[in-house]
A and B are shown apart, each in its own frame.
Chain A
């Protein structure tokens, strides 16, 4: 079995008197794509927001490579190698592809005082990355994000995660609002990400998409983990749907 990359242990989270997460433990191994499924309100988003630093758990611990880490905000999470890609992919639409890729970590050339962006390096790296995530169309890296399609935007967000050596890429509903071709593109990027040594947590409403790419399925129901190691190759979509809705027993 491959090494464990991240483990969330006994996570609890309350919103007022509502318990959103109840002792949830989750682990992801290296080079593994985990599908996180559950009905609306099952706690998927809450769990992922805790892992990506957007929310803090009321109790519970997070371990990376077996050692405990403290994730207080999204910057901490990114520093730990955890990158989250939301459906609107958190890009600045007015800025170019290259400027988005390096936002917050811009390469600078010349004297520090002049703070000069190394735009050539940014554009070259962006061109390489776009090829790597499978955008074959000739798109100049200086194109603003606003001129890209939904799938292309997801590709840029995934490229960013891959470039900065994120070990864990969390995809929160990455295929919402995408066309058929674009969805296939995103699924292909996810497979590419695994092949190049990244782990993924894949959250989607569409179980068919999840079945196509993941190695293992975890199911949450009403804040509790109800299934941990469903192998999509050994089960059917109908069986998983029954677990999600709680009609399994």
Chain B
């Protein structure tokens, strides 16, 4: 059981199953559709993926600490609406509007974290309530209409989601930010003291607290991180599609959580993997893209997503029992 061989460790890693699935998907779609690996299709795939992907990175750390956040989709819609409303109404410059939107996200994250940790309300209820409050605010402020975002030529927009071309691929700067965030948060989770605290807070909060781990503080910081990264992803999206729609991000929370758990992070906390999450994001985005290309009706998409989630959960639970057969 305690074999140290590289192959054994590789196979028993929680990321291994999702990785095989991703490779399988790519092989099948490439074989069945000539355009799947075309630069145009890959460019499309890489345009939106980083935006949803950023949210999953924050959510991975938060879920490892034993909590989750249903308000990410509404913050994704709310933050750009605030930023562009401030700018379009000539109240502030775009940069200041951006900062205001981020500060508001900090406030939302802090409120989530405070309610969950201090009042001990389950994160499901707190963030469900916050989802409605934040979405409602976005709709009320805009009367339900999207904000224009082609009104500015600020350099900030180029930095966030500037477009460039690499060997026939159209790449947005958001992809580089996503990779950077993934590397930083992956490092935090596995290599740092903070990462040890995050895992302990999710695994056994009482034991962690007894050892002097600041569980409450850790969770509040992660709620703030998740809200801020969701706001940033929303701003990215609004600039790329040239509109800040108060309804954008609807339903993202469940897709994000699905991506995270498919990658091998435990819904109950204590165990998380950024690499797995990145694979999980690619699995679902590739599936959504490829399934249409190979001619499966788009409406059947959810059947496949659901099957993937169920299959991966079964796999993770089986691996868990097999490799950590505790007494």
Spell out A's residues near B (CB within 8 Å): 74-75, 78, 90-95, 99, 102-106, 108, 114-117, 119, 139-140, 143-150
Contact = CB atoms under 8 A, between A and B. Distances in A.
Interface stretch (B160-168, B188-196, B220-228, B233-241): B188-196
A115 B325 contact: no
Nearest to A98: B196
B293 interface: no
Contacts of A91: 204, 207
Residue of B196, B206, B270 with most chain A CB atoms under a 10 A cut-off: B196
Interface string B180-218: 000000001001111111011011101111111100000
B204 A93 contact: yes
Nearest to A157: B207
Interface of B: 1-2, 4, 188, 191-197, 199-200, 202-204, 206-213, 266, 270-271, 323-327
Given A94-B199, A95-B196, A115-B193, A150 B208 contact: no
B193 A106 contact: yes
Given A139-B2, A146-B324, A94 B193 contact: no
B326 A95 contact: no
B208 A104 contact: yes
B212 A99 contact: no
Contacts of A140: 2, 4
B321 to A, nearest CB: 10
B204 A104 contact: no
A93 B326 contact: yes
4 smallest CB-CB distances across A and B, nearest first, come from A104-B211, A94-B270, A104-B212, A92-B203
Contact of B212 (A78, A144, A148): A78
A149 B2 CA distance: 14
Contacts, number: 87
B327 A114 contact: no
A115 B208 contact: no
21 contacts: A90-B211, A92-B199, A92-B203, A92-B270, A93-B203, A94-B202, A95-B196, A95-B199, A95-B203, A99-B199, A99-B200, A102-B196, A103-B196, A103-B213, A108-B193, A117-B193, A117-B195, A139-B2, A144-B324, A147-B325, A148-B326
Given A115-B194, A117-B196, A90 B210 contact: yes
Contact of A95 (B191, B200, B210, B327): B200
B229 to A, nearest CB: 19
Contacts of B325: 147
Contacts of B213: 103-104
A146 B203 CA distance: 11
B1 to A, nearest CB: 8
A31 B291 CA distance: 70
A147 B325 CA distance: 6
A108 B209 CA distance: 20
Contact of B209 (A74, A95, A147): A74
A94 B271 CA distance: 7
A46 to B, nearest CB: 18
A127 to B, nearest CB: 14
Contacts of B188: 115
A116 B208 contact: no
Contacts of A95: 196, 199-200, 203, 270
Contact of B211 (A78, A114, A139): A78
A149 B203 CA distance: 18
A148 B324 CA distance: 9
A76 to B, nearest CB: 10
A233 to B, nearest CB: 35
A114 B271 contact: no
